[in-house]
Amino acid sequence: MIIRIIDSINELIGRLISCIAIVFAVIIIYEVFMRYALHQPTRWAFDVSKQLYGFYFLMLGAYALKHQAHVRVDLLTQHLSPKVLKWVELIGYVVFFFPFSWVFLTRSYEFAMRSLAQGETTYGAVQLPVYPLKISMVVAAALLLMQGVAEVLRILFRDTKESLSHVS
């Protein structure tokens, strides 16, 4: 049940956030047209597209984990038995993933709150607020941590599901 809820949240957010790629592609195309066809570059397109891409990249981490789209090195694990693979994956989550996610969550929270308190903006011709992007880091870290919990639960219950399917 909890796996389904977490998966649904990250699936919905992933599908919504993926639409942002269209927005920043349109901005980049617009900027290229303005710069090279009309010789009137914008002052805002680079900063806006850079922030949108950062938001896009951050927010799709949990979605990528859900779909097993992160880079994996299976040179060793492809030769392991399912039982040993299960333990290797669990140890990997406990030793690497959860500590990283926790540090990402806590540090990005401090980072975002400091930016919000200062009203941090970008430098340059157009001063865009930076704190929304930094707050999205906190949300992304929380979503990633939640998806990690779902993945661990999926690993733990994988054998149970398989043995139940053999019984029926």
Among 40-44, 132-136, 163-167, the range scoring the smallest mean pLDDT is: 163-167
Looking at residues 84-109, what average pLDDT do you find? 96
Indicate the number of domains in the chain.
Answer: 1
User: CA–CA separation, 165 vs 147, rounded Å?
Assistant: 25
Q: Of 123, 148, 117, 151, which is closest to residue 135 (Cα–Cα)?
A: 117
CB 10 within 8 A of CB 147: yes
State the residue range of the domain holding 119.
1-157
Q: Of 97, 81, 77, which is closest to residue 159 (Cα–Cα)?
A: 81
Res 160 pLDDT > 70: no
- The secondary structure element, H or E, covering residue 14 is helix 2-18
State the chain's mean pLDDT as an integer.
92
pLDDT digits (tens, 9 = 90+) for 116-133: 999 999 887 789 999 999
**165 falls within a domain:** no
Looking at residues 142-152, what average pLDDT do you find? 98
User: CA–CA separation, 55 vs 136, rounded Å?
Assistant: 7
**168 falls within a domain:** no
**162 falls within a domain:** no
Res 165 pLDDT > 60: no
pLDDT digits (tens, 9 = 90+) for 58-82: 999 999 999 999 887 788 888 899 9
- Torsion angle of C-alpha atoms 152, 20, 114, 100, degrees rounded to 10: 20
**166 falls within a domain:** no
**164 falls within a domain:** no
**33 falls within a domain:** yes
Looking at residues 104-126, what average pLDDT do you find? 94
Strand, coil or helix: 129: strand
**112 falls within a domain:** yes
Looking at residues 85-101, what average pLDDT do you find? 96
State the alpha helices, DSSP H only, in 43-121.
45-59, 61-66, 82-92, 98-118
